Amino acid sequence: MNRYYNFFLIAVVAGLLLVAGCLQEQTSPITPAPTPLTGHAAMQQALWDVTGSVQSALYELDLTVSDAADALGTRGLSGPAADAVLAKAAASHPAVMNVITYGPDGTVLAAEPGDAKVLVGQDLIGYAIVQKAVTERVPLMSELLALAGGGDGVVIAHPVFSMDKEFAGVISMAFSPDALVRPVAETAVSGTPYSFMAAQPGGRVLYDADPEEVGRKTFNETLYAEFPEILDLARHYAANRTGYDTCSFHRTGSGEVVSKETFWDTVELHGTEWRVLVIGET
């Protein structure tokens, strides 16, 4: 009798514990979904997302050039082995326009992809970035410039040293800032009322939602001269790595003049800076 009574008590207690556990599971709090950001907080979050992605992309391009420079140090700056190294670097990102090597005198020794081979044998020593690369022999990134192969691009250059540590020449990657930033910016603004712009501190536009703006020199454009607030904004972001400002300008894709506000931040590589701006229309 006592044995059955004990079994009964154990069963009752187990049942109570099971019920308590079920009740506890049923009454455990549900974590509410985070409140979507709005206003300035949303703009700043979008800006941080884009600057982070663009900075990472610049680092990846630079690492690609650095790795190629190391490989060329053992394979030489021209010939089939060098071509293979350059071809791999040229295919590393859709924004890459060409990858070349040149000797201490600035003469191009190898180039990829195939349509860049017309550069082989050309003397590029007249370019400031080439002179700096062969003189200083440190990694560099240029501002936007007219490329010998046609079009405008930014150049990342790394020195190449032979296995006995002798300076052999330079590997140089040209890429389009617009092609680098555009997919990142378009993804970030999808479903939002914002747009992005990237510019050099001197006012040269590297990326804009309106392709017609890309390449413009803010301080030398008559279009911008009609909007003095744009010039004030350019001076403001030229002097400050981060900031906030307002201005009036055409609505994106339209001739209508609207009020705009912007936050900006900075990405950089080897001392060369870009300002990245998120823009909202008010």
> How confident is the model over 23-82, as pLDDT tens digits?
444 445 565 555 566 678 999 999 999 999 999 999 999 999 999 999 999 999 999 999
pTM score of the predicted model: 0.84
Q: Which fold has domain 178-281?
A: Beta-Lactamase (3.30.450)
Q: What is the largest CA-CA distance in the chain?
A: 107
Strands ordered across the beta sheet of 257-269: 205-208, 194-199, 272-281, 257-269, 243-250
Query: What is the pLDDT, as a whole number, of residue 37?
Result: 64
Query: What is the pLDDT, as a whole number, of residue 12?
Result: 45
Tell me if domain 41-176 and domain 178-281 are identical in fold. yes
Classify residue 221 by burial, with Cβ atoms within 10 Å: 0-12, 13-18, 19+.
Answer: middle
Q: Tell me: the pLDDT tens digits for 101-158?
A: 999 999 999 999 999 999 999 999 999 999 999 999 999 999 999 999 999 999 999 9
Q: Which fold has domain 41-176?
A: Beta-Lactamase (3.30.450)
The answer to whether 279 touches 194, Cβ cutoff 8 Å, is yes
Query: What is the pLDDT, as a whole number, of residue 35?
Result: 58
The helix or strand, by DSSP H or E, that contains position 5, with its residue range, turns out to be helix 2-27
Domain ranges across the chain: 41-176, 178-281
pLDDT at 89 over 50: yes
- Which pair of structure tokens corresponds to residue 254? 């339209």
Q: Tell me: the pLDDT tens digits for 181-200?
A: 999 999 999 989 999 999 99
Q: How far is it, in rounded angstroms, from Cα 159 to Cα 72?
A: 10
Query: What is the pLDDT, as a whole number, of residue 28?
Result: 52
Least confident of 7-11, 143-147, 180-184, 260-264: 7-11
The pLDDT-based confidence of 217 (bands split at 50, 70, 90) is confident
Classify residue 203 by burial, with Cβ atoms within 10 Å: 0-12, 13-18, 19+.
Answer: buried
The pLDDT-based confidence of 222 (bands split at 50, 70, 90) is confident
